[in-house]
Structure 1
């Protein structure tokens, strides 16, 4: 180490000075050569150029002499110092060796008595090992004489095991391929999960991530004996034990683990509730950490503080810890299981405590809530004399939830109050057409003007609203006596069927521009097509209108409810095109995360990246190029369906955080454009 430090200092300091001097010498030598050439090329009849070249040559020669002297000095200093430095290092190295071996000798001299004692202990260990060997041989011979035909009766499981493994052993697993082959694997129940390994040293493969979401049952309808099935919301796993007693033991172990997991999670939640402060439910807590904002009890508290969310939306059970993200409601564990069975096209279920929450999704949950959704989906419950199911009534819940969300029996299709349809049609068409024309005339390099600040304000969730309580200067509603068109007679190709029937697709279209999530949810409940195209507005979709309205959470709501992120208007522009033209960085980030095709071109042959480059929007260019690079990397490495590089994910996560919690930081492009 001593030699290395001294030589490194010699190389870094002395050699660096020598190299700098050499570079200066070479540079001034080249300048001198150039001056000589220039002086030789000057014609004698051009006296002015002759004098200028002579002066440059004189100055260059003088500078060359000084630099050359410095260079020679550095060479001499380096040569003289090189010998002394190397010799000094070697001498230091020899002294270090001397000290090392001297200290080693002293140390081993002190260890002499200990080594003798250690030798005596080793002799005793040899004697004890021989004794243990004889005892084990005797036990081995005794065990061989016993009968193991009833060994299965000794199986036990321990939910409180120190290593977290409740039960483990070999089981046959039926593969999910076309051949349905059976393979023997080492299974274990540990940490509230069912996992298996092919070999002892292999990393465990998780069969069920959370046992609370699964059930276990006997299987007697297949040819193989001793089979049982573990069913989760997403998949089913068929297993076979070696005997009936083993099958019963595994089934009981899984059932006990499920019950234990429910109890433990409930205790943890109660402890966290006591420790948490009520202030964490506020949407204004800008200093909270990223993890606290997105996962666990913080998400639970932020969502439960919305009106009606403190109890299950369907049965009223207190303290719900599950949510339907496309409906914007909270659910108890039992109702969430029923919602899962409906399919993701009706309800997408997620845990408020176990899952990670993206900021735009969390903000979506805070914009709706149980009270808002129940006013739509339970509007006729009292009129029809239907009673909501009570906690614990599984069959009643299933029937009620199916009638409520799938059949939509309790939606009052004739109780919408609005302004006259003809007036609404004119005003909506005029407003949307003006904005569409302004966008279509806007070149990619033209600045995008933000709405006047005097007419815009932000609510607690950071979403911009106009000064009249979140609605643009559009007509409000149709008359109270107007009726919705029955679903069987609805035609998506027309905006209005007559002056009394408002198309739910148009209602969704208009509400998307207004950033009015409750009205959007109402339109979907009345059967609006989330991908409805307005033939009078260049076949623009509600998602494109949400982009024009400038709301990130509105776009997220439509995407969660099945909106096509790549559906384009007659100009060939999809939501990603419009968000790029308008400079809405947060929306661009959201669409890229949701699978938008950034290679699609409009009628002018321009893709979003071309538009962003022409507009000189650095943030959007960065996002588009990162997404394209990540896509190319995944294709080259064959990682189809994978999220991609960690750096890419971190950058998009940061943009999502900024777009949801600090949207003003992403308004740099619009603000800079307004200056010009």
Structure 2
């Protein structure tokens, strides 16, 4: 309890007692004020230091968070790292904001408030004290003069007495003011200190409370990430052991260079027949020689100056050139590659290497002719369309794309509803679920991945490769069609769809309810009508895509009266829609639980996939395969999808099934397999595909020092047929007729 002089006591005490007791009390108070002033000054300075340190801490934290964000942008391709860094950066930024509020409160409540108390209230006290001290000294002087006044001089006595009376009265008034000032200061001191500290502690409480709430919300994600991290650590340890084993094995090899071991492989899985350094004579006037990295790939001779340089094509088509040794030159080990348009003089590093290069070019020429028995059916490949890939034709880029000036992204995003995410409405989605046929934003695509590939298969529009039949599939469906199916009743249930700004938890709950629990489906068969004369209606209006699947006159869909789909169960609906080539209805049937591999006992045990073959639709087959259709499931007569496609002459479907691992060795109940059927029908394309696939399977089983011979030929031919089946099916039918007439 602080010492406080009492006003009443000040008035009631006699002069001498007042002076003595009051002075003792005042001295104690003044000492206390001096000490509290020093402590408060020190506290204000310490608070200033804390605030400055806090500002430096906040600045350093901001730089750290900016570094996290930069790293997140750099790791965009790795979704797990990017998402983790983004979430952590956002949380740390919020905590920085909370710290800023804390230090701002410290500035106002502790530093400024206590500083004002010291500079204003204590200063007033000191000024009053100075005035009080002067009056007290004056009274003491008056008392001394009054005591010294001689008795025989009445006028001096009267003057001294009067001066003492006036001084004493002034002293009493000033003493009252001083006591009042002291009591006010003591009361305000208590209020100011308590208020400042309480405000600061409330700010501390808010900081940690808000920080706890923020991190508590992030806790489920951190636990999930920790579990995934444990798996990554295990996988990393396994990979490390494997790499250490490989390292130990490789160290035992002899790495001395021996050009006798240099060989070429026209069927290399990488597509590179042979590669290495050669000297090339320039075509300028000086005939200078430059060392370049040459390779033979995709029936072309190309070179690079540096590894990351764009490939320069020396010979565009090896089928049109010849190669020979060249001795009429000063340099050794030279050979010449001659095309109808130019010749190229090259130099190897040894005679054995020269012979190897000559043989590699000759073998590539022969291989090019083997790959293309009918030189007219494959038009000139668009090998120079993309400088980034130079002569290497990518299966992910259909040739019609360069002709139309379209990208895969533009084509798929042009479908109805595809301009925004199927599940949250985020603009410009760059990810797709290929078995559902929808576009997704990056956050929703991550949630789809967590559902498992049995539910949703996620692929990037810009980072992954796209086969032509898969591209056609995406152009047959789209967000509007699928949402018409999977979100048919959510508005009737009074629910709201998530927005781009919604939390990940809200989006995940919606996506699971939509695709896994299927809570928003409308009753099956609520739409009726006809489409393509088949008795089915997709219920979503016209679509932008072009229907270009191959079909034959023998398998045209029936033009019977429209059927009422309300009477069909999901399995029957899928079965009929597969033959009718109606992907929206097929998607609806699968959404309602249709078994994609259900055999129809009333129709020789045929499956929906076999029905899609009969209907002549390549994209319907692709859709069923993406949704777990068994490519080897056979009907009651032992005939699988590959058999039916071969029998009907559907080359594109045969190509698709072989790429998906269809078996062709088992015969049907009559002992006939697909190859025997193709030979009987003189279908050269299908015979070629079946024989190549069989050779490729056999070669995969054999082991060789240079990989798997035959793979490049297999991949290139199947790629050509895939493109043609998706974009020029009429050409396949004309070729089939041409070869049948030639056979006869």
TM-score, normalised on structure 1? 0.49
TM-score, normalised on structure 2? 0.45
Higher relative contact order by CA 8 Å / sep ≥ 6: 1 or 2? 2
